[in-house]
Chains A and B, each alone.
Chain A
Amino acid sequence: MGKVRLWRACLVFIAIFCACSAARAWPQQSSEDRMIAGGATGHAGGRLVVALRSEPKTLNPALALDEPSRDVIRCLTADLIHINRGSLKTEPSLAKSWSVSRDGRQYTLQLRRGVRFSDGQAFNADDVIFSFQVYLDEKVDSSQRDLLVVGGKPITVVKVDDYTVRFELAQPYAAAERLFDSIAILPRHLLQNTYQAGSFSQAWTLSVPPNQFAGLGPFRLKEYVAGQRVVLERNPYYWKANRAGNQLPYLSEVVFLFVSSEDAQVIRFQSGDTDVLSRFSAENFAVLQKQQSQKGYHLDDLGAGLEYNFLFFNLNDPGPNVPPEITKKQAWFQDLRFRQAVSAAIDREGIVRLVYSGRATPIWDQVTPGNKLWLDENIAHPPRSLDHAKELLKSAGFSWKSNGSLVDPHGDHVEFSILTSSSNAQRTKIATIIQDDLSQLGMTVQVIPLEFRAMVDRLLNTHDYEAAVMGLVSGDADPTSEMNVWLSSGETHLWHPRQEKPATPWESEMDRLMQQQLVTLDYSKRKKLYDRVQEIVADELPVICLVSPNILMGAANRVGNFRPAILVPYALWNIEELYVQ
C-alpha cells in the first residue's frame, strides 16, 4: 500500500511539474493503465538517424512484406502482447493482462484504458475486433493470416466489453501468446470506410497524408520524401512511461534514410551521418573497429543470432518438373551416405574464419547457439574428416579414377552445381569454400550465383537445380515460427516443398513431432519433441547446416539505452527508450 501511495504522490508531483512547465501534459489516462518501461532515464528531445537498405514499399501493416517497411511500421504501431527482444519472453503491451482457459483454447485479454491513437482518438475493443477482421480477411491477403489460422481454422475474436476481448482457438496452441507479437492494431475510425469499400489494399501507401495515418506506436508519421527519407515524430499520446513517470518516447524525431548498399551504410555510419548500424558483415566490423576509439561510436558483437546457413540438395520427386539430367544425379543426393560424406568434408571452421573473420559459429543442426531456450546440447559436432568422407563414399559404391576424380557405381563422374544468391556475398563465398572442400573428394562443383528471386523460383517452383546454399532467419526463438520449414507440406520445406504425404519415414516422424509440439503446452515436453527434430536434421541431413553468423551492431556513443537483441528488429526494438545525449 505504502508503495502505491508513494507512487501516487510522485504522480501528483509530476502533474504539478508538468502543469508548471506546460510542455508535456498527460492526456487523461488513469495511472494503472500506463506501462512503465524499465530502461535508464534519458533526456527528452533530439533525433535519431537510421539507414534503411531500401525504400519501404508501404506503411500498411497488413501488406508489408519487406524488412524496411516493417522497420518503419514497428515504430508507428503497437501490438496486444509483445515479445520482449531482450528477454525473448512475452510481456503485456496494449493488453495489460490476459488469462487462458483450462483447455488452452480461450484467451481473454484485458485492454489498457484511456489509450489514444496518435491522432488523439480513443482506442477500445472495437479497434481490436476491426484489426483482426482485416487480418483474417482472405481478400486482404495479409501475411499475418497464416499465423492466425490454428488447427486449420481462423481464430475467432469476440468483444466481451469495451476493454475485454476473447480469442478462441480451434485447438490448444503452445505459442499462442507469441502470435500477437507484431500484429499491429489498426484505427477503426480511419480505415473502416476504405475497408468496407474494398480498397484496403490501396490504403496507407507511403504517400498517405500524415493526418490520415494513426497508430499506437511511439512515433507518428511526419514526412515522406520519395527516394530520400521517411521522418517520424514523437507521438504525444503514447502509452508508455519511464520509471520516473515521464511519458515516452524520449526522441522527438526519427529519420529513416534510404541507403541502398551495406558499404554505403557503413561509410555513412562511420562519418557520423547515421546513429545506428545493424546487420553488416564481419569484414566491415573489422574496418569500423579500427577507428572505434577516435570516432564517437561503439560496436557490439552479440554472438550467434537466429540465422542458420546451410547446403541442401534437390530431393524433389523426379516428376515432369525435374529435368532428366538432374534426376540422374538425384540418385547420389538421395543416398544418406553421400550427404554425410559431403557434411564430413566441409570445413566449417574454415568458413567461420574466411567468410566471417571468426564472427560466426559452426552449426550441425538448425537451432543456433543464440537460441538458448531450444538448443539441443546433445547434438554431436563431428570434426572435419576427409578420410571419414571417403569411407562413406566407398561404402556407397563410389570409387576414384587414377586422376583422383570421383565416379559413381555407373562410372559417371560426380559433378554438380551449387546455386547461391548473387546479392549475398557471404553465401557465395561459403559455396566457393565448399567447392574447394569437395574437390578434395574428387567431386567437380560449380558455383552459380543467381539473382535472389530467380534462385527462389528454381528452388520452390521449377525444381531446376542440383544443390543450393541458403540461409534462413527464424522470426522468433520459438519452434512454431519454423513450421513452414520442417513440415513436409510446408512452403519452405526447401529440399522437397509441398509434399502431399511425407516422402520418407523420417519426414513423417518430423511432421508428427512438429504438430505435437504445436499443441503441447508444457515447455519441457515441447523441448523434448523439438530436440528430436534437431536430431533428425543432424542425422538425416536434409539440409547440411554450416554456420550461424554473429549479430553485429554499431551505435553512436550519444545514443542511450541502446540494447540490441538477437531477434528482429535487432537495434530499434526499444526505440521508445532510446535517447540522445
Chain B
Amino acid sequence: MLAAFSCVILFAGFFAPYDFAAQARDTPFAPPTTLHFVDAGGSLHIRPFVYGPRDSASASPNAEAASEQSYPLHWFVRSTSYKIAGLIPSRTHLFGVEKPARIFLMGSDAYGRDQFSRFLYGGQISLLAGLIAAILSVAIGILVGGIAGYYGGWLDGILMRGSELFLALPWLYLLFAVRAALPLHISQWQVFLLLISVMGLIGWARPARLIRGVVLSAKERNFVLAACGFGASDAYLLRRHVLPQTYAVLLTQITLLVPQYVLAEVTLTFLGLGVGEPMPSWGALLTSLQQYSVLSSYWWMFLPALLLIPLFVIFYAAADALQELHKSVPL
C-alpha cells in the first residue's frame, strides 16, 4: 500500500490532471467536482462525465447544474507537460476533461488551483523532506550511537550528555532563527533543503541513543567477543558484526521518523517557513486553514489533512510490521 502510494506521488505529473501552479481565476474555492454517471435524462453512462462551467451571467451560485452541457472524462489525455520523476518529459495525464470544463476532485483553492494536483505534487516535496531528514538523522545516529556504545567510558558520557542537550533544544525557535539569518536571494529550494537538513541534523539524538543501546548489548555477544579474541580491528568488528545487528532497528526508526518529519514540514510551512508559492507541499495546502473565512466556509480545504491521517497510519503499521519482523529474525 505504501509502495502504491509512493508510486502515485512519484508520478504525480501523470496522475494529476493539472499543473500545480495553473490558476483558474474564474473559479476560486470551487467545491469538489461531482462525477456523474447518470445524466439528466436518466440514462446510465459507463464513462463518467462532469458538467461544464455555468454561464456566469445567468446562473446564481446555487443553481442546479443539470441543464448544462456535459463533458465526459477522458483517459490518458495529452495536456500540460511535466517531467516523470523530475527527469523524463511527458505530456500524458491519466485523466482529464475537455475545456472549458474542469475537474477538481478535491476542489480548488483561493487561486482556483486544483487541490488534487497540488496534493500529489505536494507529496513529492513533503515525502522527500521527510525521507532526507530521516536518513540524515539516522546516519548521524549510527555514527554517534555506534561510537558511544562501542567505546563506552568517557566518550559515551560526553556523547550521550550531548544528545540530551539536543533533545532539550527548542528546535522550532532554532529554525526561525536560521530562516531569519538567511539572505533573501537564495532560491526557495535551497532554503527548503537547508531547513530540512537542519531538522535532520538536530533530530539525531533519539536514534543515536537507541543505536547505542543495541550496540552496547551487541558487543557483549559471544561471537563478537570471539572475533575480538581473534584480533579483529575495531572498524572490522563494527562493520561486520556490531552494526548489522542494528539494521532492523534502523529501518524501524526510519519508518517512524519519516512521518514525524513530514509533520514537521507541515508545521514549518504552516508557520511560513516552508517552500514558497507557488510550490505546493502538504503544509502549504493547510496554511489557508489559518483563515477563519476558509475554515468556516470551504470544507474541502480540510481534505488534504484528512488524507494525511491514513497515510500516517500506514507508515506506523509498516513500522510495526518491521518491528515484528525484527523480533522473529533469529540473531
> Which A residues are closer than 8 A to B by beta carbons?
263, 266-267, 281, 283-284, 286-287, 325, 347, 350, 353-354, 417, 419, 422, 425, 428-429, 432-433, 435-436, 439, 446-449, 464-465
Contacts and interface: CB of A to CB of B under 8 A. Distances in A.
B188 to A, nearest CB: 7
23 contacts: A283-B293, A283-B297, A284-B292, A286-B293, A286-B297, A287-B293, A287-B296, A350-B23, A353-B25, A354-B25, A354-B28, A354-B111, A425-B291, A432-B277, A432-B278, A435-B277, A435-B278, A436-B21, A439-B21, A446-B187, A446-B188, A448-B276, A464-B184
A287 B297 contact: yes
Interface of chain B: mostly helix, strand, loop or mixed: loop
Given A283-B294, A425-B291, A464-B184, A350 B278 contact: no
Given A284-B292, A350-B23, A422-B272, 14 more contacts: A267-B292, A283-B293, A283-B294, A283-B297, A284-B293, A286-B293, A353-B28, A354-B28, A428-B277, A429-B110, A436-B21, A447-B276, A449-B272, A465-B184
A350 B293 contact: no
Interface residues of B, number: 22
B180 to A, nearest CB: 8
B263 to A, nearest CB: 23
B287 to A, nearest CB: 10
A417 B184 contact: yes
A36 to B, nearest CB: 42
Contacts of A287: 292-293, 296-297
A208 to B, nearest CB: 35
Contacts of B111: 354, 429, 432-433, 436
B38 to A, nearest CB: 31
Nearest to A283: B293
A-B CB proximity, top 9 nearest:
A283-B293, A263-B292, A350-B25, A432-B277, A287-B293, A284-B293, A354-B28, A436-B23, A447-B277
Contacts of A325: 185
Nearest to A449: B272
Given A446-B276, A449-B272, A417 B185 contact: yes
Contacts of B26: 353
Contacts of A436: 21, 23, 111, 278
Main secondary structure of the interface of A (DSSP, over half): helix
A432 to B, nearest CB: 5
B23 A433 contact: yes
B112 interface: yes
A465 B184 CA distance: 8
Contacts of B23: 350, 433, 436
Nearest to B187: A446
Nearest to B277: A432
A242 to B, nearest CB: 38
Interface string B166-185: 00000000000000000011
B291 to A, nearest CB: 7
Contacts of B21: 436, 439
Contacts of B28: 353-354
Nearest to B22: A436
Interface of B: 21, 23, 25-26, 28, 110-112, 184-185, 187-188, 272, 276-278, 291-294, 296-297
Nearest to A464: B184
Nearest to A454: B180
Contact of B112 (A354, A425, A429): A354
A317 to B, nearest CB: 20
B292 A448 contact: no
Contact of A281 (B188, B293, B296): B293
Contacts of A464: 184
A267 B293 CA distance: 10
A149 to B, nearest CB: 37
B59 to A, nearest CB: 16
Nearest to A323: B185
B45 to A, nearest CB: 34
B21 to A, nearest CB: 7
A350 B28 CA distance: 10
Contacts of B185: 325, 417
A428 B278 CA distance: 12
B25 A347 contact: yes
Contacts of A417: 184-185
Contacts of A347: 25
B3 to A, nearest CB: 34
A354 B276 contact: no
Contacts of A266: 292
B61 to A, nearest CB: 11
Choose among A283, A284, A347, A350 the residue with the greatest number of B CB atoms under 10 Å from its CB: A283
A347 B276 CA distance: 21
A453 to B, nearest CB: 12
Query: Which residue, of B110, B272, B277, has the highest number of chain A Cβ atoms within 10 A?
Result: B277
Contacts of B188: 446
A137 to B, nearest CB: 38
Contacts of B297: 283, 286-287
A439 B20 CA distance: 14
A353 B29 CA distance: 12
A425 B277 CA distance: 13
Pick from B28, B110, B188, B297 the residue with the most CB of A within 10 Å. B110
A363 B221 CA distance: 79
Nearest to B111: A354
Contacts of A267: 292
B110 A354 contact: yes
Contacts of B293: 263, 281, 283-284, 286-287
Nearest to A286: B293
A549 B82 CA distance: 37
Contacts of A354: 25, 28, 110-112
Contacts of A283: 291, 293-294, 297
Nearest to A357: B28
A283 B277 CA distance: 20
A554 to B, nearest CB: 14
Contacts of A350: 23, 25
A465 B185 CA distance: 9
Nearest to A437: B23
A22 B291 CA distance: 52
A32 to B, nearest CB: 51
Contacts of B276: 446-449
A313 to B, nearest CB: 15
Nearest to B25: A350
B311 to A, nearest CB: 27
A441 B21 CA distance: 15
Contacts of B272: 422, 449
A436 B294 CA distance: 22
Nearest to A290: B297
B162 to A, nearest CB: 33
Contacts of A281: 293
B118 to A, nearest CB: 13
Contacts of B187: 446
A447 B293 CA distance: 23
A303 to B, nearest CB: 21
A458 to B, nearest CB: 8
A263 B291 contact: yes
Of A287, A447, A465, most B-chain CB atoms within 10 Å = A287
B184 to A, nearest CB: 6
Contacts of B278: 432, 435-436
A304 B238 CA distance: 73
Contacts of A449: 272, 276
Nearest to B288: A425
